[in-house]
Structure formats: C-alpha cells, structure tokens
Amino acid sequence: MPRSPLLDRPGAVAGDGLSASVAVHYGDPMREQRLLEEGLAVVDLSHRDVLTVTGADRLSWLHSLTTQALTGLAPRESREALILTPKGHVEHSLHLVDDGERTWVTTEPGAGAALLAWLDRMRFMLRVEVADVSAEWAVLGEPHDAESAPGEPIAWRDPWPGLVGDSAAYGPVEGHPGADRAWREVLVPRATLPAAVGDRPLAGVWAEEALRIAAWRPRLGHETDHRTLVHEVDWLRTAVHLHKGCYRGQETVARVHNLGRPPRRLVFLHLDGSGHVLPPRGAEVRVGDRAVGFLTSVGRHHTDGPIALALIKRSTDPEAELVVDGTSAAQTVIVAP
C-alpha cells in the first residue's frame, strides 16, 4: 500500500509489516482509545484492501460462493461473509456493502490479491467483473451505528455481535461486551483522505485493536489459522447463514453445528499487568507445563490494562489460570466448552 498522507500528522508513528503504511498511534494510544469510545476520533485503515464486484449477477454469484445470504441485499445494506476451504476452514473474510450498481468489499491488509485471484477463477460465464481498487480507494474506521444514507460515502457497518439472519451464537447473547461497539468502515477516494478526516482527532490502529479485542471480535489472520472453524471463534453469529444454498465448506459447518463441538474455543484474557512488555501474538498458552493453545491478539486497554484473545483446546478447564510467556492470565470463556 502507498504511504498514507495521514502519517504526516503530528505525533504519527508508523507500524511495521502490513501496517507500515498507517499510524499505530499518534503519541497517546490511551487517549486515542477514549476518543474512539466517545465517537470523536477516526482511524486510518487505508492499508486494508478494497475490491469491487460489478455486473448483473454479482449478488447471486457472491451468495453462491460465500457463507452469507446475499440475494436481495438492499443498497447501502451491510453484510459480513466468509469464504471457506473445501474442508470448512476459514480462508477469506469479506466486509460487503452494495450501492445498487456495484458491491464493495474490504478485506485484510495484503489479502486482496489472493481474494481477487480466487474470485476471478470462479466467474465462469456469469455477468460479473472483479477489480482491485485499493490504489484508488481507502478505508477510514469510525464509531457509527447507522447505515450510510444516500448522498453520504459508502460505508460498511459492522454487525458484531448481533445475530444476522438464520444463524447461531456460540458465546453469550445477552450482556455481550461488544454490544455497545458501533463501528463502520467508510470508503473514500484515496486522494481525499486528509479532507475526509478534516479536523477530527486521529486514533491509531493500536487503539482500534484494543477496543476490538475488548469486544471479543474475531479477525482474519489473527483469530484464524489454517484449520480454524467458524464455530471456534463465534463467527457464525454475523457471517454464516445456516440454511442457505450450497457453498464450499458448508458440510463441515452443518456437521459441527448439528452433531459435534468445535475442537478449540476462543477465550478472552486479562493479562498480569505488572510487566512492561506484552507477550507476542502466537505465544503459547499453557496450563502448568502443558501447552493448550496460542495467543491470537494482544493489546493495552485504557481501563482494563493488558488484554488478549487466545484459541485453546476445548477440553481446557474454564476455571484454570492460564500462563502466557511466564505471564499469568485470567480467562473469560467466549465460546462455551
């Protein structure tokens, strides 16, 4: 991704790897979190990839390929969908919104090329065209609970943690910590990023990540690996329609939901905050000397301190105190054992 012009703002500190083109913070991550929670700040997510799908068959085609019901999607209405492997493991995550003429898709930084290539192979004789428009369009993240209205920029509204359509929850429905997190991704021409932000305060991706973790919200490439099932991270609630037509991986989704339990489960961790260094993503999670899983996301919350998400074996005692890199961690069950 090209370097974001918002990195020229005072205090901006660039990330590394896939986040190198945006700011991880602007000098005060805790204050930035508070401003986000209050609905006052905006996050530069211009490192996310953006695709468009045009053509008369676009919604029925995407409906047939993904886990979500998309036929009849109204203009400006948002959906979250997944593409699974033949064995039902999560491969791609799509944030979709249709404007009546084209379907806009945002996906994880660096994931757009692989998604585009796969979708292009699936076109066959249908009236659809897929394009990567990441060089021309960028994403801004902001707290907002309303669908974008005509005349406003196109925006994808995050449905988490509500149950979308014919779905199911593997974690709590009432009292979910993400219930008050109203979030959307706004699509703006890349050349107009500074103007789109205006004089609003900026928050870095560290702030957004900490609030995502606190909301137990799964993210592709963080809460997923090559064998992740949607049930393990409670992703059925927003991204999977349980009674739609056939799609790749559907048999596994139905079998695990109807007959069995997922082999792993997601937990929220309060980490011991006495140290100065957070354990890295991917660090082993242990009970005593036994490894039971790994850390998927980690951050510092402005009120809760060091927090994390982890995937662990379903058989792990829900009352056990876990240890990550020598740091004790109190677990809160997300996906029921």
Same domain, 275 and 208: no
Same domain, 315 and 209: no
Same domain, 49 and 111: yes
Question: What does the pLDDT read at residue 150?
Answer: 76
Same domain, 225 and 315: no
Give the Cα separation of 213 and 123 in Å (integer).
36
Same domain, 204 and 320: no
* Residue 276 pLDDT level (bands cut at 50, 70, 90): confident
Q: What is the CATH number of the domain that holds 322?
A: 2.40.30.110
User: For residues 132 and 113, is the Cβ–Cβ distance under 8 A?
Assistant: yes
In a domain, 252, yes or no: no
* Residue 146 pLDDT level (bands cut at 50, 70, 90): confident
User: For residues 226 and 216, is the Cβ–Cβ distance under 8 A?
Assistant: no
User: For residues 130 and 119, is the Cβ–Cβ distance under 8 A?
Assistant: yes
In a domain, 244, yes or no: no
Q: Is the peptide bond before 172 cis (omega within 30 degrees of 0)?
A: no
Same domain, 20 and 149: yes
Query: What is the mean predicted confidence (pLDDT) over 265-282?
Result: 91
In a domain, 246, yes or no: no
In a domain, 248, yes or no: no
In a domain, 213, yes or no: yes
Structure tokens at 129: 């065209």
Same domain, 33 and 82: yes
In a domain, 10, yes or no: yes
Same domain, 275 and 234: no
Same domain, 66 and 195: yes
Question: What does the pLDDT read at residue 274?
Answer: 77
> What total of structural domains would you count in the chain?
2
Paired residues of 90 in beta bridges:
84
Q: Mind listing the pLDDT tens digit for each residue in 50-85?
A: 999 999 999 999 999 999 999 999 999 999 999 999
Same domain, 162 and 283: no
Same domain, 137 and 270: no
* Residue 250 pLDDT level (bands cut at 50, 70, 90): very high
Alpha helices in 205-261 (DSSP H): 205-214, 236-239, 250-259
Structure tokens at 149: 């209205």
Same domain, 104 and 11: yes
Q: What is the CATH number of the domain that holds 65?
A: 3.30.1360.120
User: For residues 106 and 98, is the Cβ–Cβ distance under 8 A?
Assistant: no
Q: Using alpha carbons only, what angle is made at residue 107 by residues 38 and 196, rounded to the nearest 5 degrees?
A: 45
Give the Cα separation of 4 and 44 in Å (integer).
8
Residues above pLDDT 90, as percent of the chain: 91
Of 207, 239, 271, at which residue does a domain stop?
Answer: 239
pLDDT, averaged across the chain: 95
Range of the domain at 10: 5-239
User: Which residue's entry shows tokens 């997190």?
Assistant: 181
Give the Cα separation of 208 and 213 in Å (integer).
9
Q: How far is CA 253 from the centre of its chain?
A: 19
The dihedral through the CA atoms of 321, 322, 327, 330 has a sign that is negative
In a domain, 192, yes or no: yes
In a domain, 247, yes or no: no
Give the Cα separation of 223 and 219 in Å (integer).
6
